[in-house]
Structure 1
Amino acid sequence: MWIYSWQEIVSMTIAAIVIDWIVGDPKWPTHPVIHIGRWIRGIEKMLRKDTDSPGWLRAKGIVLTVSTIGISFLSVMVLIMAARSVHEWLGYAVSTWLISTTIAIKGLKDAAYLVYNPLRKGELADARKYTGYIVGRDTDELGEEELTRAVVETVAENIVDAVISPLFYALLGGAPLAMLYRASNTLDSMVGYRNDRYRHFGWASARWDDVMNWIPARLTGLLLILVALLQPSLSAKRSAAAVRRFAHLHPSPNSGIPESAVAGALGIELGGLNVYGGAASERARLGWPLRPRTQRDIVYAVRMLYGVSFVVMGGLLCILLVLLF
């Protein structure tokens, strides 16, 4: 599998998860995602012109997408090969660190708790501010229920983007393929919008991200149902039913799966009215409103996030034992 055997890749992926559990996702100047973001902004500035037709914008968006994922993949491949040429264990260390930078379990938890902690203290202004860091909707007027919804939706959706997808691609092709995925997701988060500026230029990036997440999103749905089955306070049956009933209503072919699974497991409704730049937008409602949303739902969503990572870790350890013995 690219440079390493599957046994080596599984071992490095396990180590990367542990690193992320402990260290998280510090925004060091050397963090690969920072460099990917700078590349995207630089290429966008070079390619875009106000006079471009929609067709030209789409074509240039394809150039942006292909160049970004290609450079990300090849750069990591070259870096690992250079590290291996110095020493085999340096190659392992570099590969493991790079895989760990593509996942964000602790970072996602920390972002959720930046909102939960002020909510718990009744400090709505701070809760709104920190929610605005992780969602695109207007947060200035949101109350506790809507702030909770925003955070739970973000945690649920990012179980795919920040956990299962990068791990899925790491197992398929090590750090180079995991970084290719992270570049794809970064493209989507920066230019994959359906607004006037990016509707055409970001089209390729958004569609490519949908393709990359298609299988991982469905694996995530299964994992979330399993996590709900393992936690007595959650409902696996309702989680599975919510995925079947509501996931296809979401505008994304992937995000509706984890959001529906979490909503069903918790017995709450996600989705509804969002406001973006003062303009109201009705999103599909997912799950059944069996009870009002409360700030504790943020804690439950984070527990489901970690539950998924624990199940994945357990599965990888079992695979490694089989490969070793």
Structure 2
Amino acid sequence: MKYLYFIMPLITAFLLDFIIGDPYKLPHPVRLIGKCIGAVEKITRRVFSSEKTAGAVMAMIITTLSFIVPFCLLFLAYKINLFVGIAVESVLGYYLLAARCLEKESIKVYGALQKRDIKEARKAVSMIVGRDTQNLDEKGIIKAAVETVAENSSDGVTAPLFYMTFGVPLGYLYKAVNTMDSMVGYKNERYINFGKIPAKIDDIFNFIPSRFTALLMIVSSFILGLDGKNAYKIWRRDRFNHASPNSAQTESVCAGALNISLAGDAYYFGKLYKKKTIGDNNRPIENDDIKKSNRLMYCTSVLMLAVTVILRIIIAGCFL
């Protein structure tokens, strides 16, 4: 029974995300972190003449606050009562997960394409990708959606779960690092220097989770009746076909499992970026691949939840 208290927050957080998803109309801690990043960026740019130093200081401030605030909240909650602590930890953990949101937003793309509404599909996919979408054709839209689901299976679900195993505050520290990378990690004129250190920190924090997620995704490919052998083959071959050392880990598995080609050249802020392809073009990508990528994401997430629950039990056993 005593171990149940250690795993309840993880399981409850996962179920809340699965059932409810992101509460768009309520305050969200991760959106608050994003606002803090924007505010601190302005301050550090004014204070420090070196953009690299300004970015490093911003990263230190944001990560420190993102860890300390939930730590203090949990400390106070558990001081009040064990069950109050579990409830607060569950809700804080729930805010870190984005499986339901990722599915919901990508299915909007699927729905628009089912209605043959390219304009609406471009608008829907623009909400979940960083690339320019105004000129994407149907296959480009589908590919962008599938890539996003594959990559964010780690960033938005399994990596936060991994860090939550060691405490929700560490999960928030990870989420702050990931949010900084998504906001200032661009290699354009504004952020090439300022975002260098935040982007490097993100690479470090995602190194283990992205690879572990890829392995679980390969297992999921077999479970779901997809091409598990090819998923492993393409992962081994193409897992570094990306500027980031981590992003292609799960994208390569997804491409292999679905027997499609992902990545390749893309426009960002009006500029063409030459990128390697991931996977083999064994068949044309199709709208149903968006649904398949979501099933792969969910199965992988459940496996990660099982692993994190086991790890928490082991950790609890060391202290009880």
Measure, in 2, the Cα distance between the counterparts of 1:256 and 1:137.
16
Residue aligning to 2:97: 103
Q: Is the 8 A contact 2:8 2:86 kept in 1?
A: no
Q: CA deviation at 1:194?
A: 0.7
One-letter code aligned to 1:31: H
SS state at 2:240 partner: helix
Q: Contact conserved, 1:9 with 1:171, CA < 8 A, in 2?
A: no
Q: Deviation at 1:123?
A: 0.7
User: In the alignment, which residue of structure 2 is the partner of 1:249?
Assistant: 241
TM-score for the superposition, normalised by structure 2? 0.93
Letter in 1 for 2:89: S
SS in 2 for 1:134: coil
* Residue of structure 1 equivalent to 2:43: 46
Give the Cα separation in 2 of the matches to 1:209 and 1:7.
Answer: 32
Q: Give 1:122 shift.
A: 0.5
Question: Aligned pair 1:82/2:79, yes or no?
Answer: no
* Unmatched tracts of structure 1, length 5 or more: none
> Over aligned residues, Cα RMSD in angstroms?
2.0
Q: Does 1:208 align with 2:201?
A: yes
CA distance in 2 between counterparts of 1:243 and 1:123 reads: 33
Shift of 1:7: 5.6
Q: Distance in 1 between matches of 2:126 and 2:27?
A: 25
- CA distance in 2 between counterparts of 1:217 and 1:70 reads 23
CA distance in structure 1 between the partners assigned to 2:44 and 2:308 by the alignment: 42
CA drift of 1:29 comes to 4.4
Three-state SS of the structure 2 residue aligned to 1:183 is helix
- Partner of 1:36 in structure 2? 33
Size of the alignment, in residue pairs?
Answer: 315
Aligned equivalents of 1:177, 1:165: Cα separation in 2: 11
Aligned to 2:227: 235
Q: 1:11 aligns with which of 1, 8, 11?
A: 8
* Superposed displacement of residue 12, structure 1: 1.1
Gaps of 5+ in 2: none
* Partner SS state of residue 25, structure 1: coil
Residue among 169, 177, 190 paired with 1:176: 169
Q: Provide the secondary structure at the position in 1 that maps to 2:272.
A: strand
- Structure 1 runs (4+) deviating above 3 angstroms are 5-9, 49-52, 313-324
TM-score (norm 1): 0.92
Deviations 1:255-302 (A, max 9, x none): 011000000000000011211222211211000000000111101100
Deviation, 1:126, is 0.4
Instruction: After TM superposition, give the deviation of residue 111 of structure 1 in Å.
Output: 1.1
CA contact (8 A) 1:156 1:262 kept: yes
